[in-house]
Amino acid sequence: MSGAPPTLPATRLTAWSLPRWLVPLSSVVGLLALFEVLSKTGVIRPDELPAPTTIFKALVDEFDSGTASARAWETLQGWALGFGIATLVGIPAGILIGSSRLAYRLVRLIIEFLRPIPPVAVLPLAVLLWGTGIEMKTYLVAISAFFPILFQALYGVQDVDPVARDTVRAYGLSPAAQFRHVVIPSAAPYIATGLRLSASIALIVAVAQEIIVGSTGIGYAINQVRNANDISGMYAYILLAGLMGLVITVVFRAIEARVLHWHASQRQEAVS
């Protein structure tokens, strides 16, 4: 299939034999240099947006004092616990509901109603029940990650190729073997996509509640240094949050690519 259509300009670039990473790298460096100059010359007020070098230096300082790594760890902890719970509950629940027509129809409306609720809406309730500690963070992250995972797992199971399902049934494979060889492989790409999407939503929610109610972590640090009028420190923590999101996305995209790679090749064989 045509993931990247063979376009002419791409061929031309290879003819120049530029390394692939050169263009992205130079655009990032160029943008940073532009901000550096604008900030240093005062076109952008440095107390609104400090120069990138100042922000990097602030980030290094925060790491030197140990604060940055502590805050990052706190955010990561709440994220990982909540996301882990959501995964452990969401995947089996999705597979179970997806496997049974009756179960699906019983809970369909409930899922359809609960899924689009913005997870931060229940933040005040969570604060009442659990205070502002790690329990609350875990709970909120878990419910925000739960629905995308549940939904994708459910959908993946339902989308099993009926011919494949009937074939293994006709060949008399045991239900366990049917599940292992047909249902799981076909649902895996959907689940992987669900995991990636909910991982990033979970991080948004974790940081959001640190900013709003001040449970400790990167979001809390952003507020704290801002209140201390340390603007470059604030940008440093925002950069840290961004880097964290980037790492999480890259990891989950790699997982997804592995599962999808299998899926794509499998389908191409089936088609040809």
The only residue of 149, 218, 220, 236 in contact with other proteins, by rule CB under 8 A:
218
Token pair belonging to 186: 């076909």
Strand, coil or helix: 133: coil
Q: Is 149 in the site for other proteins (CB under 8 A)?
A: no
The only residue of 107, 134, 164, 173 in contact with other proteins, by rule CB under 8 A:
107
Footprint on residues 24-53 left by other proteins (CB under 8 A): 24-28, 31, 48
Report how far residue 195's alpha carbon sits from residue 90's, in angstroms, rounded to the nearest whole number. 10
- For residue 172, the one-letter residue type is G
Give the range of 65-73, 103-111, 131-139, 174-182 binding other proteins by CB under 8 A: 103-111
Minimum CB distance to other proteins smaller for 15 or for 121: 121
The only residue of 15, 43, 109, 176 in contact with other proteins, by rule CB under 8 A:
109
Number of amino acids touching other proteins (CB under 8 A): 89
Token pair belonging to 134: 């790690």
Q: List the x/- string, 119-138, binding to other proteins by CB under 8 A.
A: xxxxxxx-xxx---------
Q: How many CB atoms lie within 10 A of CB 181?
A: 13
Minimum CB distance to other proteins smaller for 96 or for 127: 127
Minimum CB distance to other proteins smaller for 33 or for 125: 125
Residue holding tokens 């074939």? Answer: 167
Among candidates 204, 182, 197, 119, which has minimal Cα distance to 151?
197
Minimum CB distance to other proteins smaller for 177 or for 247: 247
The only residue of 85, 89, 134, 201 in contact with other proteins, by rule CB under 8 A:
201
Q: Could you give the dihedral angle defined by the CA atoms of residues 246, 248, 249 and 251, in that order, rounded to the nearest 10 degrees?
A: 120
Report how far residue 197's alpha carbon sits from residue 189's, in angstroms, rounded to the nearest whole number. 12
Q: Is 189 in the site for other proteins (CB under 8 A)?
A: yes
Report how far residue 178's alpha carbon sits from residue 208's, in angstroms, rounded to the nearest whole number. 42
| Residues 189 and 156 sit within 8 Å (Cβ to Cβ) | yes
Least gap, CB of 94 to other proteins (angstroms):
13
Minimum CB distance to other proteins smaller for 174 or for 189: 189
Footprint on residues 244-263 left by other proteins (CB under 8 A): 244-246, 248-250, 253-254, 256-257, 260-261, 263
Token pair belonging to 98: 């997806």
Least gap, CB of 56 to other proteins (angstroms):
15
Q: Is 70 in the site for other proteins (CB under 8 A)?
A: no
Give the range of 51-59, 82-90, 131-139, 200-208 binding other proteins by CB under 8 A: 200-208
Question: Residues near 160 by Cβ (< 8 Å), separated by ≥ 6?
Answer: 182, 183, 186, 187
Burial of residue 80 (number of CB atoms within 10 Å: 0-12, 13-18, 19+): middle
Q: Is 193 in the site for other proteins (CB under 8 A)?
A: yes
Q: Is 166 in the site for other proteins (CB under 8 A)?
A: no
